[in-house]
Amino acid sequence: MTRVVITGAGVVSPVGTGVDRFWSNLTMGQSGIGPIDLFDTSSFPVKIGGQARDFDLDQVIRAFPWAAGVRDRKVYLGLAAAREALTDSELSESDLRHAVLLVGVGLEILCLEDLTQYANAPDLSRAVAVSMTTEASGRLLQTPLDTTTRLLGDRYGLLGGRYTNCSACAAGTQVLGEAWHLLREGRIKVAVAGATDSMLNPLGLGGFSLLRVLSAENDQPTRACRPFDATRKGTVLGEGAAFVTLETLDHALNRHAKIYAEILGYGSSMDAFRISDPDPSGSGAVRSMTRAMNIAGLRPEDIDCVNAHGTGTPKNDSVETAAIKETLGSRAYEIPVHSIKSMTGHMIAASGTLEALTAALTLSRRRVPPTLNLTTPDPECDLDYVSSGSREFTGETVLSNSFGFGGQNATLILGRYTKT
């Protein structure tokens, strides 16, 4: 099978926009969680989130003028990250013309403020349906899920195929995994893959608040997300995007491209246990990790680090810890396991790509970012979570997990690139 490598990267995140700023702040343990100022949160129980504060919307619109007027913030976040990844990759127009584009996204965002105009409509359902599917009223009530995919594909002339994946928190990992399959099988030579999301809007924040999975510790935002800590009370919503360019190794070497890391394996599974809870046995997570290892031809002793899903919710962290221990056995106690959501918050669909890129940077820049706010040990979470600041890393592999609502699980294994 063909080897697959990462050759370009782009990031918009709560801890920094641009790969270098993101990595510098991440390894310094700088939290990006604070009060939300994108809308009025005074009536919400949760008022904090991981907001991409250094994101330049005007710059994105100048680069993508036909995106002006789009109302879904995640579209702009995705365009910015993808633009950086493509610039970073230095791929030619000819290469891009044949590239496949895969984009992971979250749910369509309904603009609730628009609904007031339909309050007295004689046929409410029809009026809303028309506004959601046409621009008869001047603007759409919802932005179609494939908007980012369409705008990127048209702007860069990506004609190899365009795919949009909406699979909750696993979407960002799944698009990389599916791109990897296409490249590994020799069906394509170049892919552009990534994910974007922003739940920092009234519908997103309200919905997740009703699910009672969010920390409402508004008075201490930088400590609100505490993965694996015994006092953890919930996750914190974040926003952002991450994109990478993927190539077959031969293609990358022929054009002398820089290489961040190699993707060695990918596994995915489905729990279908409960919409908002993981299977308490962790069986779906174990299947996902085991499949990725088997496809990569790796054993537990070959895994040197785990970039955990690590949401900071009471159920996820203990279940994921148990699943890691079942998958890796004694090796689980010998390696670092960390969660960057302690700094970024949970970026939902975008989390998987951002965390896979973090794994690639961990390998290429030889450092493991920390897990913030872990001060009270939990007997059920007894691994090495890198709680005392970032750490030098000399390992060769990183396993990266994403576990989404509805039991959608995905795992990538990345390796340090070495010439053979």
Residue 11 has which token pair? 């990031």
Q: Find all residues with CB under 8 Å of 330, minimum gap 6, and list them.
A: none
- The catalytically annotated residue of 111, 305, 338, 346 is 346
Give catalytic status of residue 169 as yes or no. yes
Say how far apart CA 220 and CA 94 lie, in whole Å.
50
User: How far does the chain reach from its first CA to its final CA, in angstroms?
Assistant: 15
Q: How many CA atoms lie within 13 Å of 259's alpha carbon, on the beta-carbon side?
A: 22
Residues in the chain: 420
Please answer whether residues 45 and 216 qualify as being in contact, where contact means their C-beta atoms are separated by less than 8 angstroms.
Answer: yes
Residue 267 has which token pair? 């596994």
172's enclosing H/E stretch is: helix 171-184
- The catalytically annotated residue of 111, 169, 225, 381 is 169
Q: Find all residues with CB under 8 Å of 221, minimum gap 6, and list them.
A: 31, 33, 34, 35, 48, 236
Classify 4 as helix, strand or coil: strand
404's enclosing H/E stretch is: strand 397-404
Say how far apart CA 282 and CA 380 lie, in whole Å.
13
Q: Find all residues with CB under 8 Å of 192, minimum gap 6, and list them.
A: 82, 85, 86, 96, 99, 100, 101, 102, 152, 156, 158, 243, 244, 245, 246
- The catalytically annotated residue of 111, 251, 309, 381 is 309
Say how far apart CA 66 and CA 359 lie, in whole Å.
34
Active-site positions read: 169, 309, 346
